[in-house]
Amino acid sequence: MTQASDRLRTESEPRLIVEQGVAARVAAIAEPVLIDIGYRLVRVRISGLDGCTVQIMAERPDGTMTVEDCETVSRALSPVLDVADPIDRAYRLEISSPGMDRPLVRRSDFERYAGHHLKVEMAVAIEGRRRFRGVLMGVEGLGVEGASARIRRDDAAPGEAAEALLAIEDMAEAKLVLTDALIAEALRRGKQAERQAQEMQRAQEMQEEAETTEEEIQEEAQQARHERAGHTNGAHRARDFPPASADGRRRAQNEGE
C-alpha cells in the first residue's frame, strides 16, 4: 500500500472520542504529523508516571502497529513536540500500539469489534449513570455524527433496561475488555497481517526479478546490435581496399624474383 493511499484512509474518518485539556493540545500537534507519514492517532494520555509521561497511541489504517512503526512515529513526533512545547514541564514520550484491550474512538472501531465486551464512561450521564459495561451489539445511525453504539448490558440493575443505546460523541472513553475471544481474534488478525505482509514481500520480489530480467534482455539485445554493427563495419572496410592492378602484380612478382 502506498503512502498516498494510507494518507487518504487516515484523513477520511475523524475520531468521535477525543481528549480534553493538555492532552487535546498534544493531540492537535501529533495528529497532522501522523497523517503525513501514513498513521492515525488513537488516543493521547498524560500521566504522572516517571514524573510525567505522554503516551501517544497510534496505528496504521489497517489497525496494525509494530515496534518498527513505533520507532518511526517517535522519530517524526519528537522534534515537532520539542518545538511546539505543549507540556510545561519535562516529560517522557511513549509511543505505543492501542493494544488488545484498545480504546474505541472511531465509528469503524465500534463496527469492527461488534460482539466483544467493552466498558464505556459517558461524558454526559444517562438517567444518572455514567458507566456502562456489556457486549457491543453494533452501531446505529447514519454517517459519523449521530452514530450510537448499542450495548447488551451485563451491569444492569434490577428494573433497568437490558440494552442501552449510547451516543458515541457523548462518550468520554470506550475500551474493550480483555477476554479469551478477543485474544483469539487478535492472534488471528496478527497472523493474517503477517501473511499479507509476506505476500506483499513476495510480490515485490517477483516484480523486482521481472524488472531485472527485462533489463538483462535489453542489455543483451543492445550488445547483440553493437556486435552486428561491428561486423558490418569490418566487412565494409575489407571491401574498401582497391584491387591490385596488373602492373602492380607484375612488379611484385619481379621484386620477388
Q: What is the pLDDT of residue 244?
A: 55
- Of residues 162 and 204, the one with the higher pLDDT is 162
Q: What is the pLDDT of residues 196-228, one digit of tens each?
A: 778 878 888 888 888 878 778 888 888 888 878
Q: Is the pLDDT of residue 1 over 50?
A: no
Q: Is the distance from CB of 106 to CB of 42 less than 8 angstroms?
A: no
Q: What is the pLDDT of residue 145?
A: 73
Q: Is the pLDDT of residue 112 over 90?
A: yes
Pinpoint the alpha helices (H) of the chain. Answer: 3-12, 21-36, 67-84, 107-112, 180-240, 246-256
Ordered strands of the 53-59 beta sheet = 40-47, 53-59, 92-96
CA atoms within 13 A on the CB side of 249: 4
User: Euclidean distance between the first and final Cα of the chain, in Å?
Assistant: 86
State how far the alpha carbon of 250 is from the alpha carbons of 134, 242, 255, in Å: 118, 17, 9
Q: State the pLDDT confidence band at 242, using cuts at 50, 70 and 90.
A: low
Q: What is the pTM of this model?
A: 0.72
Ordered strands of the 117-126 beta sheet = 163-167, 148-153, 129-140, 117-126, 171-176
Mean pLDDT of the chain, nearest integer? 86
